[in-house]
Amino acid sequence: MLERIRFENYKDKIITATQAALLFEDGMTIGSSGFTKAGDSKAVLPAFAARAQNENIAVTLITGASLGHTTDSDLAGAHALNKRMPFQVDPVLRKEINKGTILFIDQHLSETAELLANGHIPAMDYAVIEASAIDENGYIIPTTSIGNSVTFAQLSKKIIIEINTSVPVSFTGIHDIFLPGEYPDRKIIPIVKPCTYIGVDYITVDPEKVAGIVFTELPDSPAEVTAPDEKTIAIAAHLVKFFEKEITAGRLTQALMPLQAGIGKVANAVLSGLSKGDFKNLTMYSEVLQDSTFELIDNGKMNFASASSITVSNECHKKILNNFDFYKDKIVLRPQNISNSPEVIRRLGVIAINTAIEFDIYGNVNSTHISGTKMMNGIGGSGDFARNAYLSIFVTQAASKDGNSISHVLPMVSHTDHTEHDVDILVTDQGLADLRSLAPRERARVIIENCAHPEYKEELRSYFERACEREGHTPHILEEALSWHQQYINSGTMKKASVLQTI
């Protein structure tokens, strides 16, 4: 106990999760640590979900990003949420969001802290923040993520600290806490390399605001790392080939530029693909450190990785803890408004690799909405990176479902998260479209020929050619532009031919 709470005045603040959850009142706004399943509240939020099962109570919940375990499911299932932001990946919560019963604000991950600090989102009543320990000043030593915890601790009226004893007390030296301060005297964020340390390794809290300390021993839920499949291997291969060509052209070195990769199997496959290429001294300036990051460090390809969380498989988690002294000086965790800061991303020249749900023949990308209406997860940090990156890359499969009934390359996206202005490279398992210095009509040809699935190329060419007959910088046939989505909703396939045959 003593090694976990080194601040005398907190000793009488230890309460149970159930007691902590009773502090919340209907209509309150709650902040919680947690970024891509790492460092989230594992005791208080679940206890609140249990309380809400038997009580008519709901709150607004703001986190870093997605929560782990079944917390979002449990909260959504118990009708304990009025509003949720800035990101989620939970199937039960997603269903309620799409029914409109829980309101969701889909935010750039760098912006939640900004909106809170500027008073554009009302301040939190309580913040729940996971810690490995509390230091001599009553400050929080964070665990596997930092996320928005620094801002929550600063702005929340009251704080509940969740000490997680599954995280060793030795898990320190990898946190770099810095906030740029308040307007109108905001400070420069002086990061000039992914490895620049600019702050302290604890989260400052006002001890007076600490309403309770809760203990838990539940570890982070592990990342599900799926093995690369034929499509993700093909995507990775196209991208590795592209990087090699850029090196040959003298625009990149073997160290590339600092990498950012979205979460999931495509991103993991791409990073794994880099292990096989002729790269060295790679660095990462990203949101999440995944299994593939540690693979690159292990095989000597990557020197340093900066992010806001560590979200890895159980196996990788064990490896990190067992070899912590080896990894300690090769990784850093930062607040998400620093890891995703436009200022730093442009200064470092990040290569941003993110996953699209679909993109169109002009290079507009939909990252969030199925058929323009249903929220999948949220934009996450993809916008923070894509807009300010040295290279903005989006990847997806060319077609999916039985019989390739869905084309992910479309005449017009049904929802736009990233505009043509912010997209340099598109990659599918079919190939890579390099859109740099191309006008929309040039982009369309390259995207259709390089990225579309062969079964959809002819239809896309037809659309584009007929649209061009009507004129326009970005030629479209408005009455047909969203018809592929409509047809999928109505008939279960985007294929024109198969529809004709079945009629």
Which residues form the catalytic set?
A: 287
Interatomic CA distance for residues 146 and 462, integer angstroms? 49
DSSP 47: H
- Give φ, ψ of 437 to 5 degrees: 60, 25
- Please give the Cα distance from 54 to 140 (Å, whole number): 33
**Binding site annotation covers 381?**
yes
CB closer to a copy of itself out of 1 and 188: 188
Q: Say if strands 126-131 and 29-32 run parallel, antiparallel, or are unpaired.
A: parallel
Closest separation in Å from C-beta 111 to a copy of itself: 8
For residue 85, the cross-strand partners are: 62
d(C-alpha 366, C-alpha 376), whole Å: 11
Instruction: Tell me if 417 sits within 8 A of 365, measured CB to CB.
Output: yes
Instruction: Please identify, using beta-carbon distances, which residue of 103 and 497 lies nearer to a copy of itself.
Output: 103
- The residues that bridge with 354 in the sheet, in sequence order, are 394
Phi/psi of residue 374, nearest 5 degrees? -90, 125
Task: Specify the residue, 420 or 455, whose C-beta has the smaller distance to a copy of itself.
Answer: 420
CB 299 to a copy of itself: min, Å: 22
- The nearest distance, CB 480 to a copy of itself, in angstroms, is 10
Residue 120's SS3 state is coil
Q: How far is the CB of 50 from a copy of itself (least distance, A)?
A: 26
Q: Nearer Cβ to a copy of itself, position 112 or 272?
A: 112
In whole angstroms, how far apart are CA 413 and each of 98, 175, 354, 408?
Answer: 19, 39, 16, 9
Q: How far is the CB of 39 from a copy of itself (least distance, A)?
A: 25
The CA-atom distances, in angstroms, between 279 and each of 139, 217, 259, 392 are 41, 40, 12, 19
Residue 401 marked in a binding site: yes
CB of 164 or CB of 260, closer to a copy of itself = 260
CA distance 461 to 477: 13
Q: Which residues are annotated as a binding site?
A: 262-266, 357, 377, 381, 401
Q: Report the binding-site residues for CoA.
A: 262-266, 357, 377, 381, 401
